[in-house]
Amino acid sequence: MWTIYSEDHRLHRPRYELMDGELVPVFEKPERADWVLERVKARGLGEIAAPRRHGLDAALRVHADHYVDYLAHAWRDWAALGRSHDIMPYCYPVRGMGQRRPTDPDARAGFYAMDSAAPIMAGSWQAIQSSLDCALSALERITEARERAAFAVCRPPGHHAGHDYLGGYCYLNNAAIAAQQLRDKGASRVVVLDVDYHHGNGTQQLFYARSDVLFVSIHGDPGVEYPFFAGHADETGVGEGLGYNLNFPLPHGTGFTQWHAALQAGCRAIERFGADALVVSLGVDTYQDDPISQFKLASPDYLRMGETIAALGLPTLFVMEGGYAVDEIGVNMVNVLEGFEGRA
């Protein structure tokens, strides 16, 4: 399958995030994409191509225009104050606050954030756009070149980003935008399958009231894991969307047997749904040595993950999300794709 990759991801390299009460170097770093690309080459997965520019129309189908405008101009307004460190929020509207859209740069940083883990720096917006361009260009391998599958090396990732907020290293929700694009290009029913270790709260939010996009997510139990405030099993959708949101929260220490049972249950629901196309939010932070996660998957397990996803028989777009064990991220990510292609 084709891989779509842009060098522009390097423009986004924030310095710090908060972990255990301490500022630490960001886990979501450019080397992640380097290792993935290297493995794609080493395994001869297929053609590697740069994305074409798509503009923002597709993003505006799922994100608020004032939020996208914030992403585009946040750094300019921040730098105008003479600041050179990454934009990081420190004051957030909570219950009952924050109906009014603020103009102050610090207020805006908090207003548009779910957490402090998606800093913005000078080159971020260009990288964010190139990440989305990768997803949309990879999607065209399926919708226009009529190929079975494609892989987008998206950096920064997207699945924590919601209608009007960033967070968890995510800014534009690449997978959700691709799913909406599939609908807009004629697919009647689309599935987003999220296998990242963390619940894809942004994707869930965007399709929560809709029956045309089924969201299935397997992730660390939000009772004890980020993003805490979404991803519970009783979140099954609302209104028209009731029954079209399926969460599989799993405990810390979960290994592949238990994880794969959840995937198979998710796949049965996907088959019942009768989708025309599948978008996979492909995070490999389920890996046993991931530095911020608590599942116990081993590298060969990712081959089986890919096989099981392939058995759905759907046109499939793979969108890169998390995975922070940089030594193994390439092997694990590409194992899913090779398993999918039946090459292993």
Total number of residues that touch ligand SP5 (CB under 6 A): 16
Render 5-24 in DSSP notation, one character per residue: --GGGGG----EEEETTEEE
Q: Which of 244, 312, 247 is nearest to 276 (CA)?
A: 312
Phi, psi of 142 (to 5 degrees): -90, -50
Peptide bond into 227 cis (omega under 30): yes
117 touches which of ligand SP5, Zn ion, none (CB within 5 to 8 A by kind)? ligand SP5
Q: Return the residues of window 254-283 that contact Zn ion according to CB under 5 A.
A: 283
- Residue 284 and residue 195: Cα distance in Å, rounded? 8
- Give the shortest CB-202-to-Zn ion separation in angstroms: 12
Q: Which of 196, 221, 301, 328 binds ligand SP5 (CB under 6 A)?
A: 196
Q: Are 5 and 134 in contact (CB under 8 A)?
A: yes
Which part of the chain contacts ligand SP5 (CB under 6 A), choosing from 88-96, 165-173, 250-258, 302-310?
Answer: 165-173
226 touches which of ligand SP5, Zn ion, none (CB within 5 to 8 A by kind)? ligand SP5
Q: Are 214 and 208 in contact (CB under 8 A)?
A: no
- Is residue 89 within the footprint of ligand SP5 (CB under 6 A)? no
Shorter beta-carbon distance to ligand SP5: residue 262 or 319? 319
- Residue 237 and residue 243: Cα distance in Å, rounded? 6
Given 160, 198, 199, 219, the catalytic residue: 160
- Give the shortest CB-169-to-ligand SP5 separation in angstroms: 5
Distances (CA, A) of 27 to 23, 53, 201: 12, 27, 20
Q: Return the residues of window 302-341 that contact Zn ion according to CB under 5 A.
A: 322
Active site residue 160: yes
HSE-up (13 A, CA, CB side) for residue 132: 28
- Give the shortest CB-284-to-ligand SP5 separation in angstroms: 10
Q: Which of 17, 225, 285, 290 binds Zn ion (CB under 5 A)?
A: 285
Phi, psi of 340 (to 5 degrees): -60, -40
- Is residue 327 within the footprint of ligand SP5 (CB under 6 A)? no
> How far does the chain reach from its first CA to its final CA, in angstroms?
14
Q: Which of 151, 169, 208, 248 binds ligand SP5 (CB under 6 A)?
A: 169
Binding site for ligand SP5 (CB under 6 A): 19-20, 117, 157, 160, 168-170, 196, 198, 226, 283, 285, 292, 321-322
Binding site for Zn ion (CB under 5 A): 196-198, 283, 285, 322
